[in-house]
Amino acid sequence: MADVPVGPEIIVLPDAASFVAAAAERVSRRCADAIEERGECAIALTGGDTPRPIYARLAREPYRSRLPWDRVRVFWGDERCVPPEDPRSNFRMAQDTLLQHVPIPPSRVHRMPAERADLVAAALDYAEELSAHLPPGDGGVPRFDLVLLGMGEDGHIASLFPGAPALRETRRTVVAYYVPQVTMNRMTLTVPVLTHAAEVCVLVSGAQKADAVWWALEGPPEPERVPAQLLRRSGGRVVWLVDAAAASRLSDRPPSGAAPPEGREAGG
């Protein structure tokens, strides 16, 4: 009998402190499991504000000593098209909160070259870097052991925003494009990479995300308007780590607004 797709695992934490602790523990355990399974772990980091305290927690004991950082490869799920030293850079945020505090060899930190003028070539180069360092999954799609994602109030994940042509990309693993919702160019992994990952962990906190969480997990299918719904087709494990405020609309009560939460993104 064909495997029945398993739905996401939803873990609700009572408050911000337990959310951060649970997320750090989950990341550490997943990386340790991957290292035990295949000798190393390839993880894609998310940007935004939500992961900051989680990365800072991973930079401290016991996680700093618990993980063999020389067996971890770090990539990004998306990047703002700014120089790496720019305060908006997801690379800089991860450097400041985590990577400069742990003994990970620089050769195992794979930054998205999103500051380059030729973004088509830069996306192709990063796609090649994925293929060079990740095992091929189904159809040859590079397979991450863990992809961390945040989610915007409009339901975007990585830099896959509502209405973007990138949502329908099935061949390329990395694309770059102008995102009107944030009035800037972004580079992002595409849906095939996210849905072929061994595990995707979506990290969402705050009451302002409650409508988007309901739409992503319990709303009627509108993936063009709520890109996080695209994770419903994942072949790997999908875990939602949400705090109680962000989960407050779940248990199939429609959120306050009738339409999907599009156009609410203030930035992110």
* Site residues, ligand 6PG (CB under 6 A): 46-50, 77-78, 90, 150-152, 156-159, 268
User: Smallest distance, Å, CB 47 to ligand 6PG?
Assistant: 3
With a CB cutoff of 8 Å and minimum separation 6, the contacts of 140 are none
User: Smallest distance, Å, CB 209 to ligand 6PG?
Assistant: 7
Closer Cβ to ligand 6PG, 77 or 162, answer by number: 77
User: Smallest distance, Å, CB 140 to ligand 6PG?
Assistant: 25
- What's the Cα-to-Cα distance from 161 to each of 77, 129, 207, rounded to whole Å? 13, 24, 20
User: Smallest distance, Å, CB 165 to ligand 6PG?
Assistant: 17
- What's the Cα-to-Cα distance from 208 to each of 53, 62, 91, 255, 265, rounded to whole Å? 18, 32, 25, 11, 10
User: Smallest distance, Å, CB 103 to ligand 6PG?
Assistant: 26
Q: Which helix (H) or strand (E) holds 242?
A: strand 237-243
Closer Cβ to ligand 6PG, 28 or 208, answer by number: 208
What is the distance between the alpha carbons of residues 222 and 60, in angstroms, rounded to a whole number? 40
User: Smallest distance, Å, CB 7 to ligand 6PG?
Assistant: 22
Instruction: Specify the residue for token string 């875990």.
Output: 239
Closer Cβ to ligand 6PG, 156 or 249, answer by number: 156
- DSSP H helical segments within the chain, as ranges? 16-38, 52-58, 63-66, 90-97, 119-133, 191-195, 210-217
Measured from each CB, the residue nearest to ligand 6PG is 150
Residues 20 and 57 sit within 8 Å (Cβ to Cβ)? yes
User: Smallest distance, Å, CB 21 to ligand 6PG?
Assistant: 17
Closer Cβ to ligand 6PG, 67 or 148, answer by number: 148
Closer Cβ to ligand 6PG, 152 or 261, answer by number: 152
Closer Cβ to ligand 6PG, 67 or 189, answer by number: 189
Cross-strand pairs, 75:
44
Q: What is the DSSP string of 125-182?
A: HHHHHHHHHS-B-GGG-B--SEEEE---TT--BTTB-TT-GGGG--S-SEEEEEEGGG
Closer Cβ to ligand 6PG, 73 or 209, answer by number: 209
What is the distance between the alpha carbons of residues 205 and 115, in angstroms, rounded to a whole number? 29
